[in-house]
Structure 1
Amino acid sequence: MPTPPARPKLLLFDVNETLLDMSKLQQAVNQEFNSEFAFKQWFSLLLQYSLVDTVTQAYHDFKQIGDAALDMLAQSLGQPARPATRKQELLTLIAELPPHPDVVEGLTMLQQAGFRMVTLTNSPGSTLRKQIAYAGLTSFFEQLLSIDDVKRYKPHPDTYLTACQQLGVVPADALLVAAHGWDTGGALRAGLQAAFVARPGQATYPLAPAPTYTGPTLSDIAGQLVGH
């Protein structure tokens, strides 16, 4: 029998798609560009070029890259670039997203079980604070951490290791909760534990280590952690 993982002392939560339901933004982007795939293409560009910045040792915040990705999306679809004011209207929606239906229950279970919880997101700190306040989740988290200070995007190992260092926890005692295979893979490669929330349309990366925990909802993940 394999040795069960140590009970984590710190839980790090990804925010976009993991905690927050991005359907409202998805519908707005798809409608704006008259394509049912526009949002997925835009979000993929946002992630891709955040990693381009990290690999090439440049840095623009997530909002700047999101703006540029809207221009790239328009160009790839053969459409005119949107005015700055329209792009701003679309990007503002990222701070006005509700939590997934299972999130409050899952966070409540974990909070009542005594887990330390913080966020760790690629969004800028100012956006993150608006997101968590809008979703009514502020009271669950000890700190709201962004990659802003490190200026390297997840899944660069420095993002996870710096968060652990700031909170006085060794990587093996920290667990990242995310709905993205690239994020759980990054955390595991950095020596953390990871829980994959299998949101619809998401998948783990087969060439990365398997997540420590996997479940369809945050409540399911919480049940596994609390029962550990």
Structure 2
Amino acid sequence: MPTPPARPKLLLFDVNETLLDMSKLQQGINQEFAYDFAFKQWFSLLLQYSLVDTVTAAYHDFKQIGDAALDMLAQSLGQPVRPAARKQELLTLIAELPPHPDVVEGLTLLQQAGFRMVTLTNSPGPTLRKQIDYADLTSFFEQLLSIDDVKRYKPHPDTYLTACRQLEIAPADALLVAAHGWDTGGALRAGLQAAFLARAGQATYPLAPAPTYTGATLPAIARQLIEH
């Protein structure tokens, strides 16, 4: 039998879609472009071009790429590019998202069990702080970490390894919790453990290592970690 993984000493949490419910932003973008799949297309462009920046040694923050992705979305749909002020209104919604209904319970279980917890997100630092404050989750996290300092986007290994160095934790003793197969895959490739939170519409990447833990809700993952 394979040796079970060590109980993690540090939990790193992705934020967008993992902790925060993006339905409000999804509704806003879908309505703006009168297209039911506008948000999904926009978010895919946001992730795709963050990786383009990373592999071409460029860097624009997530907000800048999100703005550019709105222009690309409009062009691909044959619609006029939105004015800067309107794009700003739409992008502001990302800082006004509630937590998923299971998040507070899951974080409370983990906090009571004594786990160290931080965020690790592609959102820029100022946006991250607004997001966590708006969702009233600040008290759960030791630090709010963004990829800003690294200037490479997840799933580049440097994003995870830099966070571990900052927190003085060996990668094998850290675990990423995320609702994205590309994110859990990236963490595992970097030597961390990973828990896949199976939010609706999300899937693991079959060509990446299997997640260390998988759960349909954050409390389900929390109980697996606590009982380990």
Report the TM-score, using the length of structure 2 for normalisation: 1.00
RMSD, matched Cα: 0.4
Matched, 1:57 2:57: yes
Give the secondary-structure state (helix, strand or coil) at the position aligned to 2:18.
Answer: coil
User: In the alignment, what sits opposite 2:39?
Assistant: 39
User: In the alignment, what sits opposite 2:105?
Assistant: 105
Cα deviation, 1:193-226, whole Å, max 9, x if unaligned, reads 0000000000000000000000001111001001
Which sections of structure 1, spanning at least 5 residues, go unmatched? none
Cα deviation, 1:59-92, whole Å, max 9, x if unaligned, reads 0000000000000000000000000000000000
- Percentage identity across paired residues of the two chains: 89
Cα displacement (A) at 1:2: 2.1
Q: Show the 5 A alignment for 1:68-107.
A: 68-107=68-107
Give the secondary-structure state (helix, strand or coil) at the position aligned to 2:194.
Answer: strand
Matched, 1:11 2:11: yes
Q: CA–CA distance in 1 between the matches of 2:196 and 2:56? A: 28
Cα deviation, 1:110-165, whole Å, max 9, x if unaligned, reads 00000000000000000000000000000000000000000000000000000000
For 2:202, the aligned partner's letter is: Q
Q: Following superposition, which runs of at least 4 residues in structure 1 exceed 6 angstroms of deviation? A: none
Tell me the number of residue pairs that the alignment of Structure 1 and Structure 2 aligns: 228
Q: CA–CA distance in 1 between the matches of 2:195 and 2:107? A: 14
Q: CA–CA distance in 1 between the matches of 2:202 and 2:124? A: 23
Cα displacement (A) at 1:18: 0.1
For 1:72, the aligned partner's letter is: M
Q: CA–CA distance in 1 between the matches of 2:112 and 2:126? A: 28
Matched, 1:224 2:213: no
User: In the alignment, what sits opposite 1:22?
Assistant: 22
Matched, 1:211 2:222: no
For 2:111, the aligned partner's letter is: Q
Q: CA–CA distance in 1 between the matches of 2:86 and 2:223? A: 42
Cα displacement (A) at 1:38: 0.2
User: In the alignment, what sits opposite 2:115?
Assistant: 115
Q: CA–CA distance in 2 between the matches of 1:31 and 1:227? A: 44
Which sections of structure 2, spanning at least 5 residues, go unmatched? none
Cα displacement (A) at 1:26: 0.2
User: In the alignment, what sits opposite 2:149?
Assistant: 149
Give the secondary-structure state (helix, strand or coil) at the position aligned to 1:98.
Answer: coil
Cα deviation, 1:10-40, whole Å, max 9, x if unaligned, reads 0000000000000000000000000000000
Give the secondary-structure state (helix, strand or coil) at the position aligned to 1:155.
Answer: coil
Cα displacement (A) at 1:177: 0.2
Cα displacement (A) at 1:4: 1.2
Give the secondary-structure state (helix, strand or coil) at the position aligned to 1:149.
Answer: coil
